[in-house]
Amino acid sequence: MAGLLDPLDDAQRLLVDIVWTRFVDAGKFPKYFYIEYYMRGAGYQAEAVLKSFPSVGKHLRAGGYRAVDWWANGLSPNLEGPVRLTLAGLHHLQDDPQAGAIRRGLLAFMRELTKAQRRILDSPFERPNLEVDLWEALKSAGEGQGVEDHIVLIADQEWPGIRFQQQPARGELGVLTEANFFTTDAYLNAVTAALTPPAAPAELPYIEPRGLLRALNFLDVTCELVLGASLVPRPPMDRSSLLAMDAATEAEFQAGVVVLAEILRDLLVPGNNPSHALGRLQGHLVSQLPVIDETAVQQAIERLDQMRVVRNSFVHPKPSPSLLQAHHALGLTFPIRDFGAAWDSVRAHAESSLRRLQEEIQAARP
C-alpha cells in the first residue's frame, strides 16, 4: 500500500505542480473547476487523480490526511472549492526553495507547540492556555521570512499536527501528542503511525508452553549436524525458563520478549556486519547451503526480527510504522491490552519461524 512518503506518479505530480504554482504566485489556492479543466486538457480526470493520493486517518476525518485536500459535495469535489496542499504535498517539492521555507517554518512552529505543552506540568488542576502565536514562533526560530502568509494557509489544513485559527494566527498541537521534528520525513512517519488504526491481528495459533524451547533446541541440533557448528547460545537456565512460563502482566510479557530477543541477537553467526546476528543469518545460511530456499529463510528471519522491534519499543516507546507493522505481524494489538495472549502469540510465531528455519536447513543438507 502506498504511503505519504512514496514518490508520486506523473498525474499526481502534475496536479501538485499546478496547485503549487498557482498558490505560490497568488497567495491562495486555486479552485477545483480550474484544476479539473487543466487536468482534462492534459488527458487526466482530476477527481480520479485527487482520490489516488495515499491518505491516513479516514476513520477520524472524511478523506483522511493526504498530500492534496479539497472541498467536497458528497463524494465529489466542489467546483467552487479550493484544492489545497498540505505539508505532505510540500514534501514532494524538495527542489523548490519557497516550499522548503514553508516546510521549515511549519516544523519550527510545531516544535514551539510541543514546548507549549510543557505548561501542563506547572498546572495540574487547571488546563493552561497552550496556544502559540505563529508570527512570534517564526520570528523566534528565524524561519518563514517572506512566506508567512503562505504558512498560515498551509497550517490551516495541517490538522494532524496543528489545531489552527487564521485570525489571529494561533494554534496548538492537533492529533499528535508532540511534534518535535526537523524533517518532513520524520513528521509524516509520525502522522502515519498516529492516524493508522490498529489492524486486525493475525490469527493466534495454539502454543504448547515448552514448544519454543524445543524449537530452539531442534534448530541448534540440526545446525550442528548439517553445518558442523552450534547456532543457538546457551542462556542461563533461570532466563531460558521464562520462555516456558505464561505472562499475566506487562512486566512478565516484557521479560519474556527480552529473553527471546537476546537469544536471537546472540545467535552464533560468523561476522559482525550488521551487528545483529539475525541480519547476518540469511547470508550465512545461503553461503553454507547454496540450494536452501532463500525466500523461505528470508520470511522466517523477517518474522523473528519483528520481535527485536517490539523489544526495542520497551526502551523507545514512540509509535512508528515499523512498530505497528511488527505488532501486526506477530498478531498483537496496538497498544497491547491482553499481555497473556500477546506472549502466547509471540511465542507461537517464534516457534513457527524457528521450525521453518530448521526444516529448510535440514532439507538443504548436502
pLDDT of residue 1: 46
Contact 132, 171 (CB under 8 A): yes
For 213-246, the pLDDT digits (tens) are 999 999 999 999 999 999 998 776 667 788 889 8
How far is it, in rounded angstroms, from Cα 44 to Cα 11?
Answer: 7
pLDDT of residue 249: 93
Reply yes or no on whether the pLDDT at 203 is more than 60: no
Q: Within 13 Å, how many C-alpha atoms sit on residue 274's CB side?
A: 7
Which residues does residue 163 pair with via DSSP β-bridges, in sequence order? 172
Measure CA of the first residue to CA of the last residue in the chain; give whole Å.
40
pLDDT of residue 205: 61
Given pLDDT bands bounded at 50, 70 and 90, which one contains residue 175? confident
Grid cell listed for 122: 506547572
For 111-167, the pLDDT digits (tens) are 999 999 888 888 889 888 889 999 999 999 999 888 999 999 999 989 899 999 888
- CA-wise closest residue to 43 among 90, 68, 74, 11: 11
For 6-28, the pLDDT digits (tens) are 999 999 999 999 999 999 999 99
Give the C-alpha distances (Å, rounded to integers) separating 158 from 16, 56, 85, 146. Answer: 16, 13, 9, 20
Given pLDDT bands bounded at 50, 70 and 90, which one contains residue 199? low
Reply yes or no on whether the pLDDT at 60 is more than 80: no
Grid cell listed for 355: 521450525
pTM: 0.58
- In degrees and rounded to multiples of 5, residue 293 shows phi and psi of -75, 95
Residue 117 gets which letter from DSSP? Answer: G
Sign of the CA dihedral with 19 first, then 25, 28, and 33 last: negative
